[in-house]
Amino acid sequence: MTRQCYRLAQYQLNIALSDGHWSADEVQVMEGNYFGKPSAVILDLDETVLDNSAYNARNIVDQQPYDLESWNAWCAEEKATIIPGAADFIKAAVALGVKVMFVTNRRDEVKTATINNLKKFGINANDDNVLTRNDDQGRGGDKVSRRGMVAKDYRILLLIGDNLSDICSEVEIPDNKLRNETANRKADFLGTRWIILPNPVYGSWERALPKEPKAALRVDRETQSSLGR
Ligand SMILES: [Mg+2]
């Protein structure tokens, strides 16, 4: 599935390059000040470029939930693997003269480790193209400010992530109805300027789950077993 997403991204990138009015960033589109700027694509990192299945598996074995401390420790190990298709897409974008920017909610503390991890897959990551999160310095988790930093100098051709908040604002809402309305309102960009990869493990949708997800899950399992699944 991820290879399909990246193949589509590569196809769309060529279309974007030939259309000077094309931008994937909704703020940039609104402001309309991107004509003639050099081209860039923005990719999220976790579960978009880097595969952290091992961290999640470890948490399951240890019966621990996600927390920032264990997450940072995992990032510092530099052991994430690569999402299939990501390295080829990045290589193709670079060959087309497109600047590749990474906007990640990994924190500043693990920036160097993250760069090292990316380099293991031949990705030219450095201090300038990896934009980590630091709430105190105005680089918040919603990623809007960091997309704005890229938009200042570049025309953003594609936004690639595994979470709707990787590509647009107004989706960090713990309300399924509002989230769906937002997604539907922007449906034209999905699969054209915005590429979303599947993430089977987590996402901001979790906050919109029922208040007692364990109870909901139990009911679902009972339903499934009564259906003989
Ligand atoms: Mg991600």
- 92/89 Cα distance (integer angstroms): 5
Please report the pLDDT score of residue 217 as a whole number.
Answer: 60
Place of tokens 């709707």: 164
Share of the chain above pLDDT 90, in %: 75
pLDDT, mean of residues 94-122: 98
**Residue 139: Cβ within 10 Å count:** 20
When pLDDT is cut at 50, 70 and 90, the band that residue 224 belongs to is low
Specify whether the CB–CB gap between 119 and 126 falls below 8 A.
no
Query: Between these two residues, 157 and 215, which has the higher pLDDT value?
Result: 157
CATH of the domain at 29: 3.40.50.1000
> Kind and range of the H or E element at 130?
strand 130-133
Candidate from 166-175, 179-188, 207-216 with smallest mean pLDDT: 207-216
Distance 150 CA to ligand 1 centre (A): 18
Specify whether the CB–CB gap between 80 and 135 falls below 8 A.
no
Distance 23 CA to ligand 1 centre (A): 21
- 187/192 Cα distance (integer angstroms): 9
> Kind and range of the H or E element at 4?
helix 2-17
Please report the pLDDT score of residue 205 as a whole number.
Answer: 84
pLDDT, mean of residues 7-17: 98
- 138/109 Cα distance (integer angstroms): 16
Domain residue limits at 200 = 2-226
Q: What are phi and psi of 51, to 5 degrees?
A: -100, 115
Q: Which long-range contacts (CB under 8 A, 24 or more apart) does 174-182 make?
A: 174/207, 174/208, 175/208, 176/205, 176/208, 179/205, 179/208
Distance 161 CA to ligand 1 centre (A): 6
Distance 94 CA to ligand 1 centre (A): 21
Specify whether the CB–CB gap between 191 and 155 falls below 8 A.
no
> How far from 229 is each of 124, 215, 221, 222, CA to CA, in Å?
46, 19, 9, 10
- 47/198 Cα distance (integer angstroms): 8
pLDDT tens digit sequence for 201-222: 898 888 888 777 565 565 555 5
Q: Is the pLDDT of residue 228 over 70?
A: no
Q: Is the pLDDT of residue 183 over 90?
A: no
Please report the pLDDT score of residue 61 as a whole number.
Answer: 97
Q: Is the pLDDT of residue 84 over 90?
A: yes
Query: Between these two residues, 220 and 55, which has the higher pLDDT value?
Result: 55
Please report the pLDDT score of residue 200 as a whole number.
Answer: 84
Distance 225 CA to ligand 1 centre (A): 32
Please report the pLDDT score of residue 173 as a whole number.
Answer: 74
Q: Is the pLDDT of residue 130 over 60?
A: yes
Distance 189 CA to ligand 1 centre (A): 19
Model-level pTM? 0.90
Number of domains in the chain: 1
Distance 21 CA to ligand 1 centre (A): 28
Please report the pLDDT score of residue 97 as a whole number.
Answer: 98
Distance 96 CA to ligand 1 centre (A): 25
